Chain A
Amino acid sequence: MHEYTLAQNIMKIITEYSSTHNGYQATEVVIEIGELSGVMIDALKAAVDVLVKNSEFACTEFIYSEKKAKAQCTQCGHEVAVSDFISTCSQCHSSRLDIIEGKELCVKSIAFE
């Protein structure tokens, strides 16, 4: 359900940027979501769809880009691709991994035309 709050924040951000681009329309918004950010893309999409309907962004295209997660082993320093919080290091098999990428949750870019 937190996806609705996040969708409201997306609206806030694009409204703020649009206000400084008079005469231009935000046509494309890229939203980056880390694989381990804790956000369900479909739920976020559904919430954004509800909010943009009948708004000035009704014709804006929203692109949801998922960022893969990466962790670093605290034991051997090896960087490893992970898809959950319970993975182990592929080199030394330690479970002591620190997530270094994949928790992103941001409006990456806005295209104006």
Chain B
Amino acid sequence: MCDTCGCQSEDEATYKKPGDTNHDHTHSHPLRHVLDVNRDLLHDNDLMAERNRGFFEARKIMAINLVSSPGSGKTTLLEKTISALHKDIRFFVIAGDQNTLNDATRIEKTGTEVIQINTGTGCHLDAEMVHMAIRKLDPPRNTLLVIENVGNLVCPALFDLGETKRIVMISVTEGEDKPVKYPHMFKSSDVCIVNKTDLLPHLDFDLAQLRGNIKKVNHQMKVFELSALKGEGLQQWLKWLTAQKTP
């Protein structure tokens, strides 16, 4: 068998007339040949994300990928959301952090099944990690899975996890220009939650400017302004989430 073109491999039929030589074509393989590969660098992740998405669709699970910078209030929003809706919606949570079980411990106190993924030095969750986690968690039909990503507005933007909706969170202590500073995350998200609005009276923060910056980057973004801790504005978010979950 020719190592280069693979002709006459052992498991293939060959067709010859009497007098034919071993090879029915010459072996003048070019010295240099260029192969068009066109393989996406995120190909494996995207395939796994589609597999996760298929799993969620088959079980009618709404999966949310919750992303933000560290400290914007993802876990607090989750705690408040779960306590408000747990009678109507069954929640499951995957919490991602570089280290510690702190977030999982907080979520578990709400009575919700949770798995913590510690990425070690990793700066984002990927579709494979989520796949492993959902195999362990095994959320049943008609439930809501929240994937609380590693606090980071850069890397997680590139990694599709198979989620139904990507929700980016920002707190008013972070500056009005965050959407334009980290456009990839804001462009790839469906919903933006502006948190800690109870602190507005104490800050020099221009909410209208933030709204403008969000729309500049993503004109389709749905925006909720709320204080997860104090509860103001929370009702609109809960109403929207419930409507999304109910077909």
Contacts and interface: CB of A to CB of B under 8 A. Distances in A.
Contacts of B217: 85-86
Interface in B118-139: 123-124, 126
A108 B38 contact: yes
B4 A107 contact: no
B40 A106 contact: yes
Interface stretch (B12-20, B27-35, B141-149): B27-35
A26 B199 CA distance: 58
Nearest to A110: B35
B223 to A, nearest CB: 16
A22 B215 CA distance: 53
A29 to B, nearest CB: 9
Contacts of A2: 123-124, 154-155, 158-159
Contact of B41 (A10, A23, A28, A110): A10
A60 B217 CA distance: 39
Contacts of A27: 32
A24 B5 CA distance: 11
A21 interface: yes
A9 interface: yes
Most A CB contacts (10 A, CB to CB) among B41, B123, B180, B218 go to B41
B34 to A, nearest CB: 5
A84 B3 CA distance: 47
B39 A112 contact: no
Nearest to B152: A1
Contact of A106 (B39, B180, B184): B39
B180 A86 contact: yes
A22 B4 contact: yes
B187 interface: yes
A105 B42 contact: yes
Nearest to B183: A85
A84 B183 contact: yes
Given A1-B123, A105-B40, A85 B187 contact: yes
Given A1-B155, A85-B183, A105-B42, A113 B37 contact: no
A87 to B, nearest CB: 9
A99 B187 CA distance: 10
Contacts of B31: 113
Contacts of A28: 34
Interface in A1-58: 1-2, 5-6, 9-10, 12-13, 17, 21-24, 27-28, 31, 36, 38-39
Contacts of A21: 4
Given A85-B217, A95-B215, A111-B32, A13 B183 contact: no
B158 A112 contact: no
B157 interface: yes
A17 B39 CA distance: 11
Interface of A: 1-2, 5-6, 9-10, 12-13, 17, 21-24, 27-28, 31, 36, 38-39, 74, 84-86, 95-96, 99, 105-113
Interface of B: 3-4, 31-44, 123-124, 126, 154-155, 157-159, 180, 183-184, 186-187, 215-219
